[in-house]
Structure 1
Amino acid sequence: MSATKQKILKTSLDLFNEMGITKTSLRGIADKAGISVGNLQYHFKKREEIVEALYFQLVEEMNHKFIIPKEKLFTSFLSTFEKVIEGFYAYRFFLLDFVSISRKHQKIKYHYRDLTKQREQIALALFDQLIKEGLFRQELLHDEYRNVYKRIEILSNFWFSSILIQEDTIKETTIKDFSKVILQSVYPYLTEKGRGEFSALYPKSIKEQG
């Protein structure tokens, strides 16, 4: 990818995060990047092409974060949540306007649908492995862990929109709060062994019994 194209994507990402897609024009992106509109349109003819390029850039970055090494599986599993949330924050305009974006961009909509199915299978295989290692309990309900994954997916997609209904901006503390919500959502499924390892990793999260 050329340096100019990288600059356009970086500038667009900053402006989309700050102002939203609808308030960001090609002229505004070109001015901020210090290039002409003609130069910008040589690389991206429409704003929609920039949105799609940023989507696939995000997907590629997330694919790397979803690679969980088998060594120290439980630790890696939990830390992946935090890495993914940080990654989402860097592209937060998607989370704030995802429904609108998916309606306007069929390519993104169908790719995301297929991607979700793939990641669901990865998550279920991971849950199975954690059960075998005695860290997660067996399912008590039909499709219980499939629905755990779905709840985490829904939280990830719409958490930031929910926050902005109540607050004006998304802060660093918001990211930490969201990490806590996700981590605590898997805690009830841990075995005694799993809870012991969780407590060792996140001692401040555990409420003292007294």
Structure 2
Amino acid sequence: MPKTDGELTKERILQVAEKLFSENGFDGTGVEKIAKETGINKGSIYYHFRDKNDIVESLFQNIIQEVEEHINKINQQDAIDNQLKFEDKIIAEIDYLSCKERILSILFMEALKSGNSSDALFKCAEVIINHEGSSIMQFTDNKDFTKEELESFFVYEFFTGIIPIISFITLKDKWCKYFNIDEDKLMDYFMEAFKKTHLNSHK
């Protein structure tokens, strides 16, 4: 079904806002700048969104939904790809998330704010970690985590798995430029380090 003009306008606003938020930061991007970049007047922007916070929350809701849909597709493919090595699956996930570099950088920046920070990064991570936990339990006799095991699992997956991957995706271009290193070689180095740390726990 074709999208309406209103839906296309809303998508355009979100696309431009994502670009500007990632380049200038949320606080450094006003509605005026979004309106100028989109060629849409402020009145139209306020018709679709209450304010700038509503725009960024819409972006966060979209990425959480997209990650959920992506994980559902992975679940459907697991029966076919169950012989795929875990590290190959990680590389595939990095490739997928690399297409989300802008929104990931915004998630990260907003989570790091003091005071009124966003919890969208944690919500997104929770979706991924819950999937990971379900996958692990399929190959163990233990079908339930205790509260302590669950807390420990979440901490481990977030700080040794998700955060390193997000850091790699959002900083790899700057790293390659600063240290004059080839991106493929950087990927090899990252995976070597990731295998020695996080992936060892999944063996």
TM-score scaled to structure 2, two decimals?
Answer: 0.66
- After TM superposition, the structure 1 = structure 2 runs for residues 102-141 of structure 1, keeping only pairs within 5 Å, are 103-104=115-116, 108-109=118-119, 113=122, 116-129=125-138
Q: Paired residue for 1:43?
A: 48
Q: What do the CA deviations read for 1:18-51 (whole angstroms, capped 9, x no partner)?
A: 1111111100000100011111111113111101
Residue 126 (structure 1) shift: 1.2
Q: Paired residue for 1:82?
A: 94
Aligned residue identity for 1:82: I
- After TM superposition, the structure 1 = structure 2 runs for residues 141-180 of structure 1, keeping only pairs within 5 Å, are 143=149, 146=153, 148-150=156-158, 151-156=160-165, 158=167, 173=183, 176=187, 180=191
| RMSD between superposed Cα atoms in Å | 3.9
- Of 146-155 and 182-191, deviating more is 182-191
Unaligned runs of 5+ in 1: 133-141, 192-210
CA contact (8 A) 1:9 1:50 kept: yes
Residue 58 (structure 1) shift: 0.9
CA gap 1:115/1:94 in 2 versus in 1, 3 angstroms: closer
CA contact (8 A) 1:26 1:47 kept: yes
CA contact (8 A) 1:96 1:160 kept: no
Q: Quote the sequence identity (%).
A: 15
Q: What do the CA deviations read for 1:86-122 (whole angstroms, capped 9, x no partner)?
A: 144131222233222x8436xx52x655554454332
User: How many aligned residue pairs are there?
Assistant: 177
Residue 8 (structure 1) shift: 0.4
- Of 71-80 and 84-93, deviating more is 71-80
Q: Partners of 1:129 and 1:80 in 2: how far apart?
A: 21
CA gap 1:112/1:2 in 2 versus in 1, 3 angstroms: same
TM-score scaled to structure 1, two decimals?
Answer: 0.64
Residue 74 (structure 1) shift: 5.1
Q: Paired residue for 1:64?
A: 69
